[in-house]
């Protein structure tokens, strides 16, 4: 099955700086890569996603890049703000055998220092 590795586990940046979180996946058949944000005690919520036919996608301060050859994808947050503090999870959808469930990375605790 799919295996998703996520780094770093904790990331502390100064407010206004950029943050980058990286993930690798193992299954070359995976074709959908969402990123979820989870605040303390809350549910995961989708912030951006990318499909395998696209190399980059941007939504205001958030961007995601995908390198299918290397099997890695990254989340970029620019001009970080205090409300960006949360745990971020990457995920991959293993399309092999018709599977539709997401395999998640272990998460990155992003801390925005004022």
Partner 1 sequence: DAGVIQSPRHEVTEMGQEVTLRCKPISGHDYLFWYRQTMMRGLELLIYFNNNVPIDDSGMPEDRFSAKMPNASFSTLKIQPSEPRDSAVYFCASSRGGDNEQFFGPGTRLTVL
The footprint of partner 1 (CB under 8 A) covers 1, 31-32, 34, 36, 42-46, 49, 89, 93, 98-107
- In the complex with partner 1, the residue whose CB is nearer, 33 or 85, is 33
Q: Smallest gap, in angstroms, from Cβ of residue 101 to partner 1?
A: 4
Q: Smallest gap, in angstroms, from Cβ of residue 92 to partner 1?
A: 12
Per-residue CA distances from 58 to 63, 77, 97, 111, 112 (Å): 4, 10, 30, 22, 21
Q: Smallest gap, in angstroms, from Cβ of residue 24 to partner 1?
A: 15
Output the DSSP codes for 62-93: EEEEEETTTTEEEEEE-S--GGG-EEEEEEEE
Cα angle 85, 89, 91 (rounded to 5 degrees) comes to 160
- In the complex with partner 1, the residue whose CB is nearer, 80 or 107, is 107
Q: Smallest gap, in angstroms, from Cβ of residue 75 to partner 1?
A: 16
- In the complex with partner 1, the residue whose CB is nearer, 27 or 105, is 105
In the DSSP assignment, the letter for residue 9 is S
Per-residue CA distances from 60 to 5, 32, 41 (Å): 26, 21, 26
- In the complex with partner 1, the residue whose CB is nearer, 1 or 16, is 1
């Amino acid at each position: 099955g799919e295996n998703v590795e996520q780094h770093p586990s904790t990331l502390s940046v100064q407010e206004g700086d950029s943050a980058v979180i990286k993930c690798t996946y193992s299954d070359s058949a995976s074709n959908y890569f969402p990123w979820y944000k989870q605040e303390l005690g809350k549910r995961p919520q989708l912030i951006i996603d990318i499909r395998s036919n696209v190399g980059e996608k941007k939504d205001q301060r958030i961007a995601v890049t995908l390198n299918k050859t290397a099997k890695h994808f990254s989340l970029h947050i620019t001009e970080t703000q205090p409300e960006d503090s949360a745990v971020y999870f990457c995920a991959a959808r293993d399309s092999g055998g018709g599977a539709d469930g997401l395999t998640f990375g272990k998460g990155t605790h992003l801390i925005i220092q004022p």
